[in-house]
Amino acid sequence: MLVNSPLVRLIAQRVGLGILLLFAVSGLIFAGTQILPGDVAQSILGQAATPEAVANLRRELGLNDPAIVRYFQWLGGVITGDLGTALTTRQEITVTLMPRLWNTLFLAFWAAVVSIPLAIMLGLLAVRYRNGPIDKAISGFALASISLPEFFIGYLLILFLAVKLQWFPSISTVYDGIPFVEKLKAIVLPVIALVLSVLAHMMRMTRAAILNVMQSAYIETAELKGLSALDIIRKHAFPNAIAPIINVVMLNMAYLVVGVVVVEVIFVYPGMGQYLVDHVVKRDVPVVQAVGLIFAAVYIGLNIVADVAAILANPRLRHPK
């Protein structure tokens, strides 16, 4: 009975579409790396390499095989947990990538811990004092933060908080065995940069979703009963606006993981973004493919979570007539 319910079928459909999309993205990532100009073997050996050396390396790396064969070999390895071997270091990508992934997730986690409650609180305040000075101040701050590019925010933070005030380090150096407090201090500036990049979107969506619910008839009934504006927002409007808010929160959480490339490069943070840029410069195709696929999997996975959460938050889908 449970398997045949519309809710379960809808969730299964979302998950299935996400898996198909991930396979499609893997093909696009592989194709994109294959059409890059230049020769990988030549890039590794340098311009002074002899044609024989280049030909031998191409044969060793399997670059002479058809692209479709190499794609399915790569995809088969990914499915079994083998991301391949880095061309430049000859190390297993999984071994060198996992610490970077955990560093990125650590950074994104603390950015989410700060940004999500702050965005919801500011959105509620903007609704409570809508069209007043507080609402306009919050909206103005949101517009200013969303208008500034991440690299500009990062450099401003370094200039004022690291160079002039010397409150935090300008380079976010973390390593194995670093004390937890020191690690938190090292990521303060990149966390602030990430928070400012996603805060406005979540706050504006929270405000819009709650204002949309505030136009409902049951809100007018609550007002006629004499409930305060804060109680109406907290008890009636916010719970019924939770679905779109969950969606925008999940999308921004995905961005916190996938969109960290610029922030990690600015603060020299040893995460996935810095790892990707380093190996793009070296034209290390297997590493670029692996990082791109992980970013895609995180983004698609969190979008699936957002869809499922929105479905579960919809009472008409949970309790169909």
217 dihedral zone (left: phi>0; alpha: psi -120 to 50; beta): alpha
Alpha-carbon distance 205 to 27, whole Å?
A: 33
Segment 283-299 shows an average pLDDT of 87
pLDDT at 315: 58
Segment 118-140 shows an average pLDDT of 85
Alpha-carbon distance 241 to 232, whole Å?
A: 12
Query: Is residue 289 pLDDT above 50, yes or no?
Result: yes
How confident is the model over 1-22, as pLDDT tens digits?
A: 445 577 778 788 888 888 899 9
Class of residue 12 by CB neighbours under 10 A (exposed 0-12, middle 13-18, buried 19+): exposed
How confident is the model over 19-44, as pLDDT tens digits?
A: 899 999 988 988 887 776 666 676 66
- Placement of tokens 């939770």 in the chain: 242
Residues of the domain holding 170: 97-279
Query: Is residue 276 pLDDT above 80, yes or no?
Result: yes
Asked if the structure places residue 113 within a domain, the reply is: yes
Query: Is residue 222 pLDDT above 80, yes or no?
Result: no
Query: Is residue 205 pLDDT above 50, yes or no?
Result: yes
Query: Is residue 199 pLDDT above 80, yes or no?
Result: yes
Q: Are 219 and 236 in contact (CB under 8 A)?
A: yes
Asked if the structure places residue 143 within a domain, the reply is: yes
The overall average pLDDT reported for the chain is 81
Alpha-carbon distance 92 to 99, whole Å?
A: 13
Asked if the structure places residue 252 within a domain, the reply is: yes
Number of domains in the chain: 1
Alpha-carbon distance 53 to 57, whole Å?
A: 6
Number of H helices, E strands in the chain: 17, 0
Sequence-separated (6 or more) residues with CB below 8 Å from residue 162: 168, 169, 170, 189
Segment 105-133 shows an average pLDDT of 87
Query: Is residue 230 pLDDT above 80, yes or no?
Result: no
pLDDT at 320: 52
pLDDT at 232: 74
Percent of the chain with pLDDT over 70: 88
- Placement of tokens 């079994």 in the chain: 80
How confident is the model over 44-91, as pLDDT tens digits?
A: 666 677 777 778 777 776 777 787 888 888 888 888 888 888 877 778
Asked if the structure places residue 258 within a domain, the reply is: yes
Alpha-carbon distance 166 to 94, whole Å?
A: 37
Query: Is residue 177 pLDDT above 60, yes or no?
Result: yes
Asked if the structure places residue 273 within a domain, the reply is: yes
Query: Is residue 275 pLDDT above 80, yes or no?
Result: yes
pTM comes to 0.82
Instruction: For residue 91, give both structure tokens.
Output: 């190390």
Which of the residue ranges 51-65, 104-118, 307-321 would you say has the lowest mean pLDDT?
307-321
Alpha-carbon distance 110 to 33, whole Å?
A: 32
- Residue 271 to residues 78, 231, 314: CA-CA distances in angstroms? 20, 43, 37
Instruction: For residue 153, give both structure tokens.
Output: 């925010």
pLDDT at 56: 78
CATH number at residue 242: 1.10.3720.10
Asked if the structure places residue 216 within a domain, the reply is: yes
147 versus 43: the higher-pLDDT residue is: 147
Asked if the structure places residue 87 within a domain, the reply is: no
Of the pLDDT bands very low, low, confident and very high (cuts 50, 70, 90), residue 188 is very high
Query: Is residue 203 pLDDT above 80, yes or no?
Result: yes
Asked if the structure places residue 28 within a domain, the reply is: no
pLDDT at 1: 45
